[in-house]
Amino acid sequence: MWPHEPAVANAAMPLPFQAGHRVAAGVDPKPWISTADSMNVKARQRLIWTATPLAIGLLVPSLVIFCLEVFVGGVSPSAAAADILDRQFSEGDNLFLIAAFGLIPFVALSVVCAVAAGRLPPFRLACLGIGGLVGILALMIPGHVAVWYPLYGPGHMSSTALIAFLLIPFYCLGSLAIGLLVGWLLSLLPPFRHASKPIG
């Protein structure tokens, strides 16, 4: 009698829990796999939205100068790129130092995204990150253009340009807050709120 008891016990169990029917009945036989995948997605999104704002922040001042040299100053792209590379650590301009100080709002955005990555799905996190980036760049790019334009176009560069470079990052914290708010509100729209497909 004993050899037949497991079959009887198995038959008495509800269908979803019988051996061989877990997957067909929609019950995941290995729930830890989906949990691990979810953790990997969150870790990847956290890395993306922590590193991306910092990389963009470092490039913004040099890209603004590159565009001004090419489209306003009439310098060839290769000569403009060489000039920007020479000025990264030069004593007069030190573009790298300007970019590093300008990272203040981008670091704030990276921190917000790193915290939000553990709570928001990928599409909503992307809305938040893109909104923050647009908020920062909407003020930072015009600010840098206003400071550098006289050097390549008509007019003279102001002697107070250094003060502008000190103030622009702090002003961008305000535009960052606005961008984050707009991005968060957009993420509440049904197309983003219910999206579950990972990004990246």
**Domain locations along the chain:** 46-193
pTM: 0.77
Greater confidence (100 vs 41) lies with 100
pLDDT higher than threshold 70 for residue 195? no
Work out whether the CA dihedral 98, 155, 81, 200 comes out positive or negative: positive
3-state SS class at 198: coil
Q: Helical H runs in 72-121?
A: 77-86, 95-101, 104-116
pLDDT of residue 30: 46
Mean pLDDT of 61-79: 95
Residue type at 190? P
Q: How far apart are CA 177 and CA 181, in angstroms?
A: 6
pLDDT of residue 20: 46
Mean pLDDT of 56-71: 95
Q: Can you list the positions of beta strands (E) in the chain? A: none
pLDDT higher than threshold 90 for residue 18? no
